[in-house]
Amino acid sequence: MNIAMIFVLLLIVCSAIYALVLSGFIRGLLALRNNQTHAPDEWPSVSVIVPARNEAAVLERTLLSLFEQNYPGDWEIVAVDDRSTDHTSQILKALAELNPRLRFFRVTTPNPPSPKKNALALGIRESHGDIIVTTDADCVYDSKWLQSMIRHMTPDIGVVAGLTAFDLPVERVPLWQKIQWLDFLAQQYLAAGAAGAGVPSSCNGSNLAYRRCVYEQISGFGKSAGIVSGDDVLFAQRVAKQTVWKVVYNTDAESIVHSLPVLTIRDVFNQRIRWASKGLAYRRSMSVFLFGLYAYYLLWWCAPAVAWMNPAWALPLAVTTAWKFGWDYYTLRVGSHAFHHETPLKYFVPFSMLHVLLSPVFGITGLFVPYRWKGEWYRTATLPRGVKRGLVRVRRIVRHRRAVEPVI
């Protein structure tokens, strides 16, 4: 067998495994139809935590939307001003005078390692609700959002995650914005499928509810408190690993939260690197899945060159490509139906190509490259201790060899 044949056979086998994994996500998405809901005789008290840093442009819209919640039980809004330098604090003060449900606090800790987790922890400490609901300062909500989230909080459920969808800022936006819109939905469909399959691995902190007793049981954000992001993903993974509480995805149309996308390509790169930077903090099975996916995508990087240099293998590669993209498309269709949400599938082809091209780039560079967020620079991930020691040894060997090399 020549190298081209080995490559094609390897890609076919990996694509078969890929389809098998996606079928698990699909079964999980279909299982969400069996979610149990209930209307409690006594609705639990709820605290909505809204961290905000320099969100003056959108904060009023978010809070006015929250004020419209039609929740039968006792509930409050706890906003946390995370060292804002704009008019965020003035807006909070003015709106708190209009609605007594709103209370606000200000972070005084200088340069916390994880600003958002620090703000959330402050808000949770100052809140009173039995159920904690976290969201972002640039979102809008259906008036029955809280009701829908709490209906899914059956006795065995500890965490309820919801879908967050981007609202594009104007009707005519660049293609990359629409691809970003689809990519964000795709990530959440996979997260929902994993939860439906009983393996919760991801969620979004802009639409997340959990019991206070669950938060206290796992000591809040725990060891991940120093990691910049992960107030949602790492939290859900720790709940699944350390407790018997279940994590469920809410598929009600009323539970969908609408947020705003980042507006520049530079911000997209910083956002995706930030998301990827916590990759080494994931549970082992999640890390194996992600790095296996990156390796599979790297094979696809080589496929066009193999087809060009070996035309006899072009047809098998084309069939394998159609096989992969077909499974991707079907997964997105199932996710769209599960959430009764419009998914911009007409951008599927450019999305799929860019996803294969850029996912390994973001996933790997996120472990090393610093990123900018909320006006500050961060670097989250660190290499495993064994890898660090190996690199140190290599550097010492190189330095030693340079030192003993004869000078000519």
The amino acid occupying position 200 is P
Classified as helix, coil or strand, 91 is: helix
Determine contact, residues 208/232, Cβ cutoff 8 Å.
Answer: yes
pLDDT for the residue numbered 275: 87
pLDDT for the residue numbered 407: 44
Separation of alpha carbons 71 and 39, rounded Å: 12
pLDDT tens digits for range 310-336: 999 999 999 999 999 999 999 999 999
Determine contact, residues 191/271, Cβ cutoff 8 Å.
Answer: no
Is the pTM higher than 0.85?
A: yes
Question: In 117-193, where do the E strands start and end?
Answer: 131-134, 157-162, 164-166
pLDDT tens digits for range 18-28: 999 999 999 99
299 beta partners: none
Q: What is the mean pLDDT of each run of 10 residues along the chain (408 residues)?
A: 89 97 97 91 96 95 96 97 94 95 93 88 96 96 97 96 85 84 94 94 94 95 80 90 95 94 88 84 84 95 93 94 97 95 90 94 87 78 60 71 57
